[in-house]
Chain A
Amino acid sequence: NAGVTQTPKFRVLKTGQSMTLLCAQDMNHEYMYWYRQDPGMGLRLIHYSVGEGTTAKGEVPDGYNVSRLKKQNFLLGLESAAPSQTSVYFCASSYGLYTHYEQYFGPGTRLTVT
């Protein structure tokens, strides 16, 4: 039981390049989330999904897109990376809404955009 895994762990992009971050969970959770964490800041929700085939915007969705084609996977895409997207990205999942069920976080992906 690996829990929540994220790929890759580190990535450096040039401005304007695109990439996809992959999150996978093996706990059969319905809810999945993408957060970003910046120095001296708490986590901020980018997008989330309440089930396979559904996605919704969080606090800071601009510049990102997501897809949930399979229940166990949640992908975060950056179409045209900007230096402001330099951050550590965390994926999380929960059995139900986080107000009633614990969120389990992945180890994070450190992204640098130059």
Chain B
Amino acid sequence: GENVEQHPSTLSVQEGDSAVIKCTYSDSASNYFPWYKQELGKGPQLIIDIRSNVGEKKDQRIAVTLNKTAKHFSLHITETQPEDSAVYFCAATPNQAGTALIFGKGTTLSVSS
């Protein structure tokens, strides 16, 4: 089955800097890769996702890149702000009914002003 590794587990940056979180997956059949943001005391919220037929996707200050050959994908946050502080989870899954979304263990991002 699928296994997702996420690094780093914690990341501290200064406001305005960029943050990069990396994930690797094991199942070459996986073709959907979402990223979730979880603020303290809340449930996760989808912030961006990418499918295997796309190499990069951007949404304002957030971008995700996918390298299918190397089986890794990354979240890039530019011009970080204190409100970006949260736990970020990557996930992967094959596009098949009945298969679970497999999550990484999470990255705690702290943005200091």
A98 to B91, CA, bound (A): 11
Encode B19-62 as 1/0 by CB contact (under 8 A) with A.
Answer: 00000000000001010000001111110000000000000000
Q: How many whole Å from A36's CB to the nearest CB in chain B?
A: 11
A42–B100 CB distance below 8 A: no
Q: A58-B100, A97-B97 are in contact. Are A43 and B105 (CB under 8 A)?
A: no
What is the count of residue pairs linking A and B with beta-carbon distances less than 8 angstroms?
50
Q: Smallest CB–CB gap between A40 and chain B, Å?
A: 6
User: In the complex, are the beta carbons of B97 and A107 less than 8 A apart?
Assistant: no
* Secondary structure class of chain A's binding surface, majority of residues: loop
Please state if A45 and B43 are interface contacts (CB–CB under 8 Å): no
Residues of A within 8 A of B46 (CB): 102-103
- The distance in angstroms between the C-alpha atoms of A74 and B57, with both chains bound, is 34
Instruction: List, in ascending order, chain A residues with CB within 8 A of B98's CB.
Output: 56
Measured between alpha carbons, how far is A103 from B46 in the docked complex, in Å? Answer: 7
Decide: A107 near B105, CB < 8 A? Known: A43-B89, A59-B100.
Answer: no
Contacting residues, chain A, for B63 (C-beta < 8 A): none
Assembly CA distance A108 to B100 (angstroms): 19
Which residues in chain A, 56-114, are within 8 Å of chain B measured between CB atoms? 56, 58-59, 90, 92, 97-99, 102-103, 105-108
A-B contacts, 26 listed (Cβ < 8 Å): A4-B43, A40-B9, A40-B105, A40-B106, A41-B106, A42-B91, A42-B104, A43-B103, A45-B100, A50-B97, A56-B98, A59-B102, A92-B43, A97-B97, A98-B34, A98-B93, A99-B32, A99-B93, A102-B46, A103-B101, A105-B43, A105-B44, A105-B45, A106-B43, A107-B41, A107-B43
3 closest A-B pairs by beta carbon, nearest first, are: A42-B103, A105-B43, A45-B100
